[in-house]
């Protein structure tokens, strides 16, 4: 597998004594969209900041496109663009100047046409002469993305890019991410909106208390851990489950107006046929059927809960 | 060498200077002019010559040194402290820049501004008093060396400071007193012992003395000693900065 980032036994103890990362091993594939999920304080930002050279690791190593992030930091860093979690911007500069600054920092010669394209893509072209402090929060977020793209990175880190961003802008942003991926840019994002990871990512990693507890193709993850539920709305409410149904993974829900049947999508036999026949035999009439798949969010919550 | 990177930092810093033209250029020039008016023109006319130089002219190198030190320190310290404070320093840290390149960008801009100020002050002083510069090349040399050295020093303070108070305490509590006691307004030969001997522990004495020598050819200490002193301070600052970047002290967690 062609990996563009290779993380080995990476640990981080902050000076406070807190262990933010514990022997993390992770490979990011070239050209993929990788979503890193985890609760607050799991170590997502710490991991990203180490790769980008902002936080020093306590142990372990990271290679970016074959270049060690400390021994060969110039090569490693020049490939990476970072959109930080916080809205960190200078205040008094204008949009255009700050983009030129970003590009320059990464050792690239001026490229007005490219910067114009980036600003247009992010609907900031009209604001190019505006001072940063006069931008709205959502515009600042887009500006941070523009800054990260100004030096044409091969790898883009988006640390919670859609926090505090409205629905429309979020959609635009994901479109942009897809376009970048089509151009071959590898994207690593963290998010708390699990639908986002579900919709966008090729692979998903879950980090919890500084440890990677799972890395999986999204589709495989969904089918492996996914549970389906079948909700049967009843004609007449039930108060107790008939003993004949005790062996089924059934629950009385909606105050007796429904039965919920949980089954594993992996199983050969879902048992639905059997269940329906049994219900028929018992004279329990069904008004409506509704099946649902568990979302990544549920998978994720279950994973983290099982751990703690 | 990431020249575009150095240039980006330098331009950013210079833009900050020109954005705040009033406070960064006009106000130091105003305060220096006030010194000239009060000490040079008003009091100076009643003071005798020192080392054969009129008092108004005598204090020019010292006054210039006072502003040069304060401006270099405050400008360079603010330049790096502020992005650290607001968090925008992440971008510089994540860029493919060596620590030397970062220092050249920030310190270069701070020193440029100090030199510009120094020259402007010299021109301003011309309005109040007549002076000569016997050794112009030495004068320029001292100007550049002092501006660079104390911009380096300010850079260290900016890295070290974790609040605004610490940022101001060194210029206010250390540099200004040392400059006043360092012979900006008098020749240390005029001091009684033990003050004269004690003064020799004040590094600013050497700076002012050397600078004044480049103007009038008179000095409290040998000019070679002055030169050695400033180079010594510069090397010390460079060593401290190298250590800071190596350990990530107060810059990276
Ligand atoms: N500079 C620091 N000094 C000490 N501890 C820190 C520092 N930065 C982060 N931490 C701690 O390290 C742990 C991981 O933090 P991190 O910011 O990496 O989490 P995260 O997964 O990004 O969380 P969130 O989803 O809230 O952004 C947390 O317990 C945090 O308190
Ligand atoms: Mg975070």
The stretch B32-55 carries a mean pLDDT of 79
Examine the domain organization and report whether A70 and A216 are in the same domain.
yes
Report the residue from A15, A54, A91 with minimal CB separation from B94.
A54
Among the three residues A222, A248, A266, which one is the final residue of a domain in this structure? A222
What's the rounded Cα separation, in Å, for the pair A162 and A141?
A: 8
Using CB atoms within 10 Å of the CB of residue A216, give its burial: 0 to 12 exposed, 13 to 18 middle, 19+ buried. middle
**Is the Cβ pair A105, B8 closer than 8 Å?**
yes
Q: Chain A: give the shortest CA distance to residue B142, in Å.
A: 31
**Is the Cβ pair B88, A90 closer than 8 Å?**
yes
Residue B98 pLDDT: 92
Report whether residue A64 contacts ligand 1, using a CB cutoff of 6 Å: no
- B86 contact residues in A (CB cutoff 8 A): 88, 90-91
- Counting Cα atoms < 13 Å in the Cβ hemisphere of B17 gives 25
Mean pLDDT of all residues belonging to chain B? 89
**Is the Cβ pair B252, A54 closer than 8 Å?**
yes
DSSP three-state, residue A206 = strand
Question: How would you list the strands of the sheet with A286-293, edge to edge?
Answer: A250-253, A258-264, A227-234, A286-293
**What CATH number is attached to the domain comprising A78?**
3.40.50.300
Whether pLDDT at A165 is above 90: no
Per residue in A44-86, pLDDT tens?
999 999 999 999 999 999 999 999 999 999 999 999 999 999 8
Q: What are phi and psi of B54, to 5 degrees?
A: -55, 145
Pick A39 or B238 by higher pLDDT. Answer: B238
Whether pLDDT at B234 is above 70: yes
Residue B229 pLDDT: 94
Smallest CA-to-CA distance from B36 within B162, B99, B121, B163 is with B121
Helix (H), strand (E) at residue B247: helix B223-247
Residue A228 pLDDT: 78
Residue A27 pLDDT: 96
Smallest CA-to-CA distance from A40 within A88, A83, A89, A85 is with A85
Examine the domain organization and report whether A50 and A118 are in the same domain.
yes
Q: What share of chain A is helix, strand, coil (3-state, %, to 5)?
A: 35, 30, 35
Examine the domain organization and report whether A26 and A75 are in the same domain.
yes
- Counting Cα atoms < 13 Å in the Cβ hemisphere of A20 gives 21
Pick A299 or A185 by higher pLDDT. Answer: A185
Question: Of A194-198, A256-260, B144-148, which range is least confident?
Answer: A194-198
Q: What is the CA angle B38-B217-B181, rounded to 5? A: 45
Report whether residue A42 contacts ligand 1, using a CB cutoff of 6 Å: yes
What's the rounded Cα separation, in Å, for the pair B91 and B105?
A: 14
**What CATH number is attached to the domain comprising A236?**
3.30.70
Report whether residue A61 contacts ligand 1, using a CB cutoff of 6 Å: no
**Is the Cβ pair B96, A107 closer than 8 Å?**
yes
The stretch B97-115 carries a mean pLDDT of 95
Examine the domain organization and report whether A209 and A251 are in the same domain.
no
Q: What is the CA angle B114-B104-B168, rounded to 5? A: 50
Report whether residue A86 contacts ligand 1, using a CB cutoff of 6 Å: no
Instruction: Give pTM, 2 decimals.
Output: 0.86
The stretch A116-120 carries a mean pLDDT of 94
Examine the domain organization and report whether A112 and A175 are in the same domain.
yes
Pick A291 or A143 by higher pLDDT. Answer: A143
> From ligand 1's centre to the CA of A18, what distance in Å?
9
pLDDT tier for residue A153 given thresholds of 50, 70 and 90:
very high
Question: Of A109-123, A261-275, B153-167, which range is least confident?
Answer: A261-275
> From ligand 1's centre to the CA of A47, what distance in Å?
10
Strands A186-190 and A155-159: parallel
Examine the domain organization and report whether A62 and A211 are in the same domain.
yes
Residue A224 pLDDT: 67
Angle between helices B136-160 and B55-86 (to 10 degrees): 30
DSSP three-state, residue B225 = helix
Mutate to test the interface with B, among A91, A104, A111 (most CBs of B within 10 A): A104
Residue A266 pLDDT: 65
Residue B37 pLDDT: 81
Among the three residues A178, A199, A222, which one is the final residue of a domain in this structure? A222
CB B56 within 8 A of CB B32: no
B38 in contact with A at a CB cutoff of 8 Å? no
Pick A10 or B45 by higher pLDDT. Answer: A10
Examine the domain organization and report whether A286 and A198 are in the same domain.
no
The stretch A13-30 carries a mean pLDDT of 95
- What the block records as the tokens of A284 is 């329990």
Q: Which residues contact A51 (CB under 8 A, 6 or more apart)?
A: A5, A7, A62, A64, A69, A80, A157
**Is the Cβ pair A107, B7 closer than 8 Å?**
no
Pick B124 or B156 by higher pLDDT. Answer: B156
DSSP state of A116: H
Report the residue from B16, B90, B95 with minimal CB separation from A106.
B95
What's the rounded Cα separation, in Å, for the pair A290 and A233?
A: 8
Pick A265 or A62 by higher pLDDT. Answer: A62
Residue A296 pLDDT: 66
Q: What does chain B look like in DSSP terms, one character per residue?
A: --HHHHHHHHHHHHHHHHHTHIIIIIHHHHHHHHHIIIIIIIIGGGSPPBTTB-HHHHHHHHHHHHHHHHHHHHHHHHHHHHHHHHSTHHHHHHSS--HHHHHHHHHHHHHHHHHHHHHHHHHHHHHH-----S-HHHHHHHHHHHHHHHHHHHHHHHHH-SSHHHHHHHIIIIIHHHHHTTTSSS-GGGSPTTHHHHHTT-HHHHHHHHHHHHHHS--SS-HHHHHHHHHHHHHHHHHHHHHHHHHTTTT--
Among the three residues A222, A240, A261, which one is the final residue of a domain in this structure? A222
- A186 to each of A34, A104, A107, B102, B125, how far by Cα in Å? 8, 22, 21, 28, 60
Residue A226 pLDDT: 65
CB A230 within 8 A of CB A260: yes
- What the block records as the tokens of B155 is 């850079």
- A54 contact residues in B (CB cutoff 8 A): 90, 93-94, 252
B86 to chain A: closest CA residue: A88
Residue A303 pLDDT: 74
Whether pLDDT at A301 is above 80: no
Percent of chain B with pLDDT over 70: 100
DSSP three-state, residue B52 = coil
Examine the domain organization and report whether A260 and A139 are in the same domain.
no
Q: Going by CA atoms, what residue is nearest to atom 30 of ligand 1?
A: A41
Whether pLDDT at A112 is above 70: yes
Examine the domain organization and report whether A218 and A243 are in the same domain.
no
Pick A11 or A251 by higher pLDDT. Answer: A11
The stretch B214-236 carries a mean pLDDT of 93
Range of the domain at A105: 3-222
Question: Cis ω on the peptide bond leading into residue B194 (within 30° of 0)?
Answer: yes
CB B138 within 8 A of CB B223: yes
Domain count, chain A: 2
Mean pLDDT of all residues belonging to chain A? 89
Examine the domain organization and report whether A11 and A132 are in the same domain.
yes
DSSP three-state, residue A175 = helix
DSSP state of A271: -
Pick B10 or B168 by higher pLDDT. Answer: B10
Examine the domain organization and report whether A58 and A40 are in the same domain.
yes
Per residue in A203-224, pLDDT tens?
999 898 999 988 989 888 777 6
**What is the ipTM for the molecules in this complex?**
0.88
**Is the Cβ pair A88, B86 closer than 8 Å?**
yes
Percent of chain A with pLDDT over 70: 95
Whether pLDDT at B220 is above 90: no
Whether pLDDT at B22 is above 90: no
């Amino acid at each position: 597998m062609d990996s563009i980032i290779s993380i080995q036994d990476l640990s981080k103890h902050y000076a406070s004594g807190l262990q933010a990362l514990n022997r993390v091993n992770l490979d990011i594939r070239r050209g993929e969209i990788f979503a890193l999920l985890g609760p607050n304080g799991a170590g997502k930002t710490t991991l990203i900041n180490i790769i980008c050279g902002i936080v020093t690791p306590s142990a372990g190593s990271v290679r970016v496109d074959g270049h060690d992030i400390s021994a060969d930091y110039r090569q490693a860093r020049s490939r990476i663009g970072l959109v930080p979690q916080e809205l960190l911007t200078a205040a008094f500069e204008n949009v255009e100047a700050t983009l030129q600054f970003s590009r320059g920092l990464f050792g690239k010669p001026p490229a007005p046409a490219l910067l114009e394209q980036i600003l247009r893509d992010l609907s900031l072209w009209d604001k190019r002469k505006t001072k940063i402090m006069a931008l709205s929060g959502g515009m600042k977020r887009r500006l941070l993305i523009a800054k990260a793209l100004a030096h044409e990175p091969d790898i883009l880190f988006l640390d919670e890019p859609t926090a505090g961003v409205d629905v429309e802008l979020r959609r635009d942003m994901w479109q942009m991410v897809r376009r970048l991926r089509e151009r071959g840019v590898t994207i690593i994002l963290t998010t708390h909106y699990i639908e986002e990871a579900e919709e966008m990512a090729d692979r998903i990693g879950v980090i919890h208390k500084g440890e990677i507890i799972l890395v999986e193709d999204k589709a495989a993850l969904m089918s492996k851990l996914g549970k389906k539920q079948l909700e049967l709305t009843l004609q007449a409410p039930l108060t107790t489950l008939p003993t004949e149904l005790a062996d089924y993974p059934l629950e009385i829900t909606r105050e007796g107006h429904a039965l919920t049947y949980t089954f594993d999508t992996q199983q050969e036999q879902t048992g639905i046929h059997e269940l329906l026949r049994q219900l028929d035999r018992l004279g329990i009439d069904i008004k409506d059927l509704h099946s649902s798949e568990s979302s990544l969010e549920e998978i994720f919550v279950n994973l983290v809960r099982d751990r703690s | 060498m990431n020249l575009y990177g150095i240039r980006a930092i330098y331009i950013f810093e210079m833009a900050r200077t020109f954005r705040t033209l009033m406070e960064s250029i006009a106000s130091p020039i105003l305060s220096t002019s006030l010194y000239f008016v009060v000490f040079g023109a008003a009091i100076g006319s009643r003071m005798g010559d020192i080392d054969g130089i009129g008092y108004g002219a005598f204090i020019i190198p010292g006054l210039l040194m006072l502003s040069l030190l304060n401006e270099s320190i405050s400008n360079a310290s603010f330049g790096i402290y502020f992005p650290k404070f607001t968090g925008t320093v992440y971008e510089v840290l994540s860029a493919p820049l060596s620590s030397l390149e970062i220092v050249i960008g920030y310190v270069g801009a701070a020193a440029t501004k100090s030199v510009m100020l120094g020259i402007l002050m010299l021109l301003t002083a011309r309005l109040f008093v007549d002076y000569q510069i016997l050794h112009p090349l030495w004068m320029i040399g001292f100007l550049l060396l002092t501006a660079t050295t104390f911009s380096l020093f300010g850079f260290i303070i900016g890295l070290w400071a974790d609040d605004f108070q610490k940022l101001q305490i060194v210029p206010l509590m250390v540099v200004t007193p040392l400059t006043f006691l360092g012979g900006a307004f008098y020749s240390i030969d005029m001091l009684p012992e033990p003050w004269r001997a004690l003064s020799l522990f004040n590094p600013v004495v050497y700076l002012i003395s050397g600078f004044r020598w480049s103007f009038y050819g008179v000095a409290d200490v040998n000019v070679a000693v002055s030169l050695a002193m400033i180079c010594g301070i510069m090397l010390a600052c460079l060593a401290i900065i190298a250590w800071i970047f190596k350990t990530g002290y107060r810059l990276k967690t």
